[in-house]
Amino acid sequence: MTKLDINDMLTSYDKKNLTIATVCSHSSLQIFNGARKEGFKTIGIAVGEKKKYYDAFPLGKPDEFLTVNNYKDIFKYSNELKEKNAIIIPHGSFVEYLGADNFLKLDIPTFGNRNVLLWESDRNKERVWLEGAGLTMPEEIKNPKDIDKPVIVKYHGAKGGKGFFIAKTYDEFLRRIKKGKPYTIQEFVMGTRYYLHYFYSPIYDDAFKLSKGSLQLLSMDRRDETTIDEVQRLGSIAELEEIGIHPTFVVTGNIPIVMRESLLPKVFDMGAAVVEESLSLFGGIIGSFCLETVVTEELEFKVFEISARIVAGTNPYIFGSPYSELIQPDLSTGRRIAQEIKLAAKKNLLEKILT
Ligand code: AMP
């Protein structure tokens, strides 16, 4: 649990002059672009010389750079950032580079509820949360000897699917498993993948109403994962495995997608249940989050993961998605985050959306 008190952190802040800061990676072009559209100044935290690349995108680059030797040095600059009334927008790379413990200790107002990290990063707690919300997750196989159908083996803390592998039998599992690395075995769910991008606001009521605040669906994507997504160019996965070529699950990009409209009520019911459960477990998941799902041929959703902040899958939609366009033209997740901060500042409710 973070011991930081958001009201203390905000006492010195000029709420009419907030700036938006994030690490230059992941979804930062979108975050800076969205903040700019809502009239915020922005700070890009970068290791090494990143300016050159950002100069190539004038509408996505930050107004100023804070160049650090390594990400943990952000702590040394926390006073400087606070003097600039900075609000941190965390994304997946931000949390990864800084490390979860450091992220929880960072003494700068941060968008969203940082305590969600404890529920998201522990696979058992994540299951308690999502199953408690009534969602169906892939079956977990506790004993590898019980593997009697395709499973996916996931190493703990592996980033971007690195090292994950498919096994169909116990023997295959034994051949592939790396000794000494903690892992989880999940049923490999057959179906089509949809990564659903939601936004929950505890302070805005004009969307899909919840017990407190409301929920929006801003977009959805499918991840492009090497080599699994194109390995069939060389032959079937079964054929390739016979000659020792095994597919991998490393994310390289994101593809925009829409879903058949009749599934949208389920999408909202799942998002709503996840938020309601989070409100009772740890005070609520605030802002953007993503449910990573597979839709089976029975049109049922199996949810294999939750990401509790802006995901890179929102990047195809810097200028809006087929869903967000029906909320407001030109609305990205980055821009929606900036709007939330603007609304909270205006209503004097910043402590409801920051930790
Ligand atoms: P994750 O790190 O849990 O997001 O998993 C990385 C990738 O592995 C996902 O994007 C999916 O393509 C795939 N994957 C993960 N879990 C499952 C599952 N239970 N069934 C099928 N594919 C999965």
Task: Tell me the pLDDT tens digit for each residue of 226-238.
Answer: 999 999 999 998 8
Mean pLDDT computed over every residue of the chain: 95
In this predicted model, what pLDDT tens digit does every residue of 329-342 receive, in sequence order? 999 999 999 999 99
| Number of alpha carbons in the 13 Å side-chain half-sphere of residue 355 | 19
pLDDT of 238 reads 85
* 158 exposure class (CB count in 10 Å sphere: 0-12, 13-18, 19+): middle
| Number of alpha carbons in the 13 Å side-chain half-sphere of residue 129 | 31
Over residues 284-306, mean pLDDT: 98
Q: What residue owns the CA closest to ligand 1's atom 19? A: 188
Strands 183-187 and 165-167: unpaired
Secondary structure letter of residue 76 according to DSSP:
G
pLDDT of 106 reads 94
- For residues 237 and 247, give the distance between their C-alpha atoms in angstroms, rounded to a whole number: 7
Pocket flag, ligand 1, residue 291 (CB < 6 Å)? no
The answer to whether 144 and 175 are in contact (CB under 8 A) is: no
The answer to whether 1 and 72 are in contact (CB under 8 A) is: no
In this predicted model, what pLDDT tens digit does every residue of 34-63 receive, in sequence order? 999 999 999 999 998 888 999 999 999 999
Pocket flag, ligand 1, residue 138 (CB < 6 Å)? yes
pLDDT of 289 reads 98
Pocket flag, ligand 1, residue 292 (CB < 6 Å)? yes
Over residues 302-320, mean pLDDT: 97
* Geometric angle at alpha carbon 166, from 163 and 167, rounded to 5°: 125
pLDDT of 1 reads 44
Over residues 268-288, mean pLDDT: 98
pLDDT of 2 reads 47
Pocket flag, ligand 1, residue 91 (CB < 6 Å)? no
List Cβ<8 Å contacts ≥24 apart for 82-86: 82/9, 82/12, 82/13, 82/107, 82/108, 84/19, 84/21, 84/43, 85/13, 85/14, 85/15, 85/17, 85/18, 85/19, 86/18, 86/19, 86/20, 86/21, 86/43
Annotate 283-318 with DSSP letters as a single string. S---EEEEEEEEE-TTS-EEEEEEE-SB-GGGGGGT
Characterise 194 by phi-psi region: left (phi > 0), alpha (psi -120 to 50), beta (else). Answer: beta
pLDDT of 295 reads 98
304 Cα: distance to centroid of ligand 1 (angstroms):
7
294 Cα: distance to centroid of ligand 1 (angstroms):
9
* Geometric angle at alpha carbon 337, from 15 and 10, rounded to 5°: 30
Pocket flag, ligand 1, residue 227 (CB < 6 Å)? no
Mutate to test the pocket of ligand 1, among 135, 141, 152 (most ligand atoms within 8 A of CB): 152
89 Cα: distance to centroid of ligand 1 (angstroms):
26
Local confidence band at 162 (pLDDT 50, 70, 90 cut-offs) = confident
User: pLDDT > 90: what percent of the chain?
Assistant: 88
In this predicted model, what pLDDT tens digit does every residue of 82-127 receive, in sequence order? 999 999 999 999 998 898 899 999 999 999 999 999 999 888 999 9
